[in-house]
Amino acid sequence: MKILCFYELDWELDYLKKQLADFQIHFVKGTTQNSPTIDKDADILCLFVDSPVDKHLMESLSSLKLIATRSTGFNHIDRSAAQQLNVKICGVPAYGKNAVAEYAFGLMIMVMRKLYEAYSRIRDNNFSRVDLCGTDLSGKTLGVVGTGDIGSNVVKIGAAFGMNVCAFDLKPNQELVDKTGCVYVSLEELLRQSDVITLHVPYNTGTHHLINKKNIMTCKKGSYLINTARGAIVETAAIVKGLKEGVLAGAGLDVLEEEGEMDHEVSLLLEEHPQAIQLQTLLSNHYLIEHPQVIVTAHNAFNSYEARKRILDCTIDNIKAFVAGKLKNIIS
């Protein structure tokens, strides 16, 4: 079978070549969006979340049988079209359970202990500690929204920090309760009692704006919000409102709502009839990026060598299993 593989890093190319040496592979550096000329005879399409796959692309690959996405999320793929065209989709579960959980605590510590400001001052030869007094994690209440693989690791790390951990999930994990002593509560109660709220749920219609302008005002005054999941789980205007009204003391955000448009802000602003909601979100994102009590990073929580290698290993196993007539980690 022929594989059409989009990749980003050169070492990933070398690794895939070695592990899939028995396959005929056409490698393309970049994404489906910036690669107009591709191999139309591919049986398997291998890509990352930055490569959207619509019905038109699937139909152009007349032999396509499998889309192997190197991700847990699959919003970039038209699942309905795949089902119509009898194309299977497989993904990579739980590759970032360590990387993302650790990154969430990196953001927590950075914003709660004012590390970025402290570091920036030293770069300017300013050794003053004025206004750099932060707050401990130990003894604080950590609210974990979503206790899948990543969220469960966050619970464990929080307990190790000496935090009092409460959690919200539609399917409570009793084993996690027994091991860590965490307590499951409603989302409403979690927002009310948590000093730090960290989000670890997938993005879908049920979690869209799970944190919004209404319930942000029920959060404990002076709390912190951490989001390493998906941007649209939080209504951007809600974070702005929470900060302006003193409900939130700060935020650590690895994802932003409409983050895909941040690179295209000029074209958006120059459109004859810009979408008001999208424009408002874009401007709110800029407010957050410039806010002194907000740390924003570029969807980087997953990005460790170990996590990337797990992604590749799982994808390779998925492809080999499919070719052997077995379905592994099938999304649809």
**What CATH number corresponds to the domain at position 315?**
3.40.50.720
**Are 309 and 291 members of one domain?**
no
pLDDT digits (tens, 9 = 90+) for 27-44: 999 999 887 667 788 999
**Are 150 and 257 members of one domain?**
yes
SS in 3 state form for 120-182? HHHHCCCCCCCCCCCCCCCCCEEEEECCCHHHHHHHHHHHHCCCEEEEECCCCCHHHHHHHCC
Q: What is the model's pTM? A: 0.83
- Number of compact structural domains in the chain: 2
Strands 141-145, 164-168: pairing is parallel
Strand ranges across the sheet with 24-29: 24-29, 2-7, 44-47, 66-69, 88-90
**Are 134 and 275 members of one domain?**
yes
Q: Is 230 among the residues known to form the active site?
A: yes
Range of the domain at 317: 2-95+305-323
Residue 329 included in any domain: no
Residue 328 included in any domain: no
**Are 200 and 215 members of one domain?**
yes
Residue 138 included in any domain: yes
Residue 332 included in any domain: no
pLDDT digits (tens, 9 = 90+) for 227-247: 999 899 999 999 999 999 999
Residue 270 included in any domain: yes
**Are 173 and 253 members of one domain?**
yes
Q: What is the mean pLDDT of the chain?
A: 90
User: pLDDT-based confidence at 75, cuts 50/70/90?
Assistant: confident
**Are 234 and 310 members of one domain?**
no
Kindly name the residue from 200, 230, 308, 310 that is annotated as catalytic. 230
Kindly name the residue from 200, 259, 308, 310 that is annotated as catalytic. 259
Q: Could you report how far apart the first and last alpha carbons of the chain are, in Å?
A: 20
**Are 90 and 103 members of one domain?**
no
The two tokens of residue 285 are 């994102």
- Phi/psi at 155 (nearest 5 deg)? -60, -45
Residue 318 included in any domain: yes
**Are 129 and 196 members of one domain?**
yes
**Are 119 and 254 members of one domain?**
yes
**Are 84 and 114 members of one domain?**
no
**Are 270 and 201 members of one domain?**
yes
Q: Is 259 among the residues known to form the active site?
A: yes
**Are 159 and 76 members of one domain?**
no
The CA dihedral of 281, 199, 217, 298, to the nearest 10 degrees, is -30
pLDDT digits (tens, 9 = 90+) for 109-157: 999 999 999 999 999 999 999 999 999 999 999 999 999 999 999 999 9
